[in-house]
Structure 1
Amino acid sequence: MKQSRTPLHALIAGIGLLGATALAHAGEVEVLHYWTSGGEAKSAAELKKMMAAKGHTWKDFAVAGGGGENAMTVLKTRVVSGNPPTAAQIKGPSIQEWGNEGVLANLDPVAKAGGWDTLLPPVVANVMKYKGNYVAVPVNVHRVNWMWVNPEVFKKAGAKIPTTWDEFAAAADKIQKAGFIPVAHGGQNWQDATVFESIALGVGGADYYQKAFVKLDAAALASPTTEKVFDTLRLVKKYTDKDSPGRDWNLATAMVINGKAAMQFMGDWAKGEFTAAGKKPGTDFICAPAPGTAKAYTFNIDSFVLFSQKSKDMKVTNDLAASILSPEFQEVFNLNKGSIPARLNMPKTKFDDCARLSMDDFVATSKSGGLVPSFAHGMAMPSATQGAVVDVVSNFMNSSMSSKDAVQKLIAASKKR
């Protein structure tokens, strides 16, 4: 999900570690992570317990508030000084950027021993590799292209839950006439981009999405399909409320929970808001793929890169990597987080209906080619390109810019590096 900037005090605390921390010694696990919320903190404790069982001591390097630039600055200082932590929470194309620095550990021995190539879909495994070698390990998979629905609002409005964007317009009209807000939305640029990419996937399909927003193919971006995506985004905007600008995503989710709004387009972290409110999937709320995306899946994966250490320290590095991808940790972490395991074919008994559907679709789309990385959540593009593309989408959402003009601006943004 969206990453926020790290507060200055976290930066200062992190810098303090530079002077206080001696070179990591064998048996000590130091991990830069952002698992500071309730469920995530429980998961970090579980990983700590697993490492203790293997004889290692855990040294926390937790930074509250998400993966901001300041935390990355601290990490770079640590690495340059020759004192990297064991691992750091980094994802998507940023893994390749760290690989280019030549500071990451080669995890192929532990990957081969654990059969990672059979446990992970190729599209996910490739994100974890640098020049063909594993350098990172995935913790979870978030599905981004979800639509969260209040079935009672649909029932009161006499509307059908949409499976296509044409059906969406028909349902939204009925919902609006019945006095409800059709779409709960937070007008922040990353939320705008989240809706946009689900529309792109639903309007154009996985092949178009892959060409346009992963490969940044100019012909795909310039196609009439992209113009239709912007037209559909404008349609969705029409059914949001006037108070949406600046609203946080969880407040938008609350509008669906309390029956003020009918639906929200958001990743599966939204499910945590429903469950925290005591709502049950399939009864009090419905999780469904965004219109037109039932056979596709945009993923956002939390992962850890592991850093090269002295040879004597590689045992702790390999043990940490193996523990993160172990069935035990994958299960407990994802039950806490609301996401699903990155490992294929995990037992589903402890997971709820939404997670089970996500797990089934994860497997199916990994075979069909419908599994694609979320550009809105930093999985598909270089960071400079992503920022430029997100700006175009958000500017379109908040202006009278024509779809034709937006397409041209999107093409220009795709060239930013």
Structure 2
Amino acid sequence: MDQALLERYQQAYKDLDLFPLVEPDDIERFRVDYGLHIMVRLKREIEASVKNGKFIFAGHRGCGKSTLLKRLAIDMQPNHSVVFFSIADLIEMSAITHVNILYAIAIKLLSQASKQSNIRVDEDIKQALLGWNTTVHTQTSSQAIKGEMGLGGDIKVVTAKLQQEKSFRDQIEKTFEKRISDLVGKCDRLAAAIQTATKKPVLVIIDDLDKLDLPLVEHIYRNNIKSLFSPQFRVVFTIPVSAVQEPQVMGALNSEGVVRPHLFPVAKFFAKPDCHNPEAEPIAKTFDVFLKVLSKRLPENLVDPQTAEQMVRKSGGVMRELVRIARECCTECMVQLEIEPDSDSVKINDEILTVALRNLRHDFARQIGSDLYDLLVGVYKTAETPDASSDGFVKLLHGLMVLEYENDALWYDVHPIVVDLLKQKKLIE
């Protein structure tokens, strides 16, 4: 087996996993300007807003929101005290509530304040967030937690408990569910202490809320929006694009002053009339960006140029889908090197891509219920949907089986890999 070639595919597989770009070295090596106008719009609106403005950032899963938000955090840093974090790093996604989102904000603000010696944090805040000397705890459990954390509390221990222990999250819910104003007040006092010391307004950016299942999104953003939007500092939240289709969610956001979410649209490779024309040439500006992203992670000697173009086409304009396709191709090449060790070379070509797309097509097929195929065919044929807020359509949108594009009017298309599935089932020509 060609060990050197295997290691190159292994490295490409690792490089393709670097989404979002967060670490400075990774940003330097792999960043490609993408979605810049969206970030600038969000940046300017934040700067022009009142001190307690709230902002919603939405988009399809994997479209590049996280990388863009990290860049926004870096760009805002000179004039703001920025707290950027992923909710997925702190709380199991199925366990997220408006209460523990606010608690996570408080812990991150406390962590930010603790890093600067000139920021004084009142003891009652530390006690409330870290000490857990509350009436809902037994004396034994309170002492045990204090013993683990040491004098003054240990943010790292609390963060680990928040992420790993359901019982700990349950205690947070019991403690603060009926005392939300108290929790929000502590967030505000922490933000005020940071702002006083740094002379900069606080901006909190919360990533990965867009990965929540829709019932959780509705519960958090529709039923508890007032609590979530109570902190008196700027916060950027994320939601899945499918939630934007929900009138009740949008009504709740509008009632709290969110004029419109900032949407990160899917990259459009073809104009609407050409979307199913096999002879149409892709829009070079957006297509070349995806090719550049791919080339930075997948060396050209590992992939045929024509195959690279097909990989981009099959992504449908969703960056994460391009990554999924490329990683699946790398995996297939590593398998081939193992099975056929005497082969002179293994390269990502049309044959390898065909196998990779078959595997991903099966993944989609497992998610699509039999009752949704007619809806997919309708979207494919009309580029529209009869009811954008229907449960079936929202499921397809949330699962990237249907993609939303923007012109003067919105239009929709079926994910290219799902199109192949419809053709295989002889539902379309």
Normalized against structure 2, the TM-score is what? 0.23
Q: What TM-score comes out, normalization by structure 1 length? A: 0.23
Higher gyration radius (CA): 2
